Amino acid sequence: MDYTAAHKIALEKFQQASLKEIEEYSRYPIHGDQVLVEFIGQKLAIKYPTGEFYNQNNPEEDIPLGTQVLILHYLVNRSSAMELDELISYKELPG
């Protein structure tokens, strides 16, 4: 599947957001010019504002474009993160 167009849109939104907004809405920590994300057992760093992805566990590994799109969209979601302290299904997610 070709995620090039979706990646371009997600990257533009990522670049339009400030690091402070990204940290506030995603609750992921910021370290310098990088957003630090744990995703399916991998520790990833996303460089701001370029959107370059690095796998901190395995720097040689490329992050699939579909995964990048998913994470970038999550990072710039404008709704505040909700902490319910309970598990919900995917279809119960708002939006």
- What domain range is 61 assigned to? 18-78
Has residue 52 got a pLDDT over 80?
yes
- Domain membership of residue 95 (yes or no) is no
The pLDDT tens digits of the residues spanning 1-35 come to 899 999 999 999 999 999 999 998 888 999 999 99
What pLDDT shows up at residue 54? Answer: 96
- Domain membership of residue 33 (yes or no) is yes
Q: Which of 22-26, 38-42, 43-47, 78-82 has the lowest mean pLDDT?
A: 78-82
Give strand pairing partners of 53: 46
| Total domains present in the chain | 1
- Domain membership of residue 43 (yes or no) is yes
Has residue 47 got a pLDDT over 90?
yes
- Bridge pairing between strands 30-31 and 42-47: unpaired
The answer to whether the CB of 53 falls within 8 A of the CB of 39 is no
- Domain membership of residue 2 (yes or no) is no
- Domain membership of residue 94 (yes or no) is no
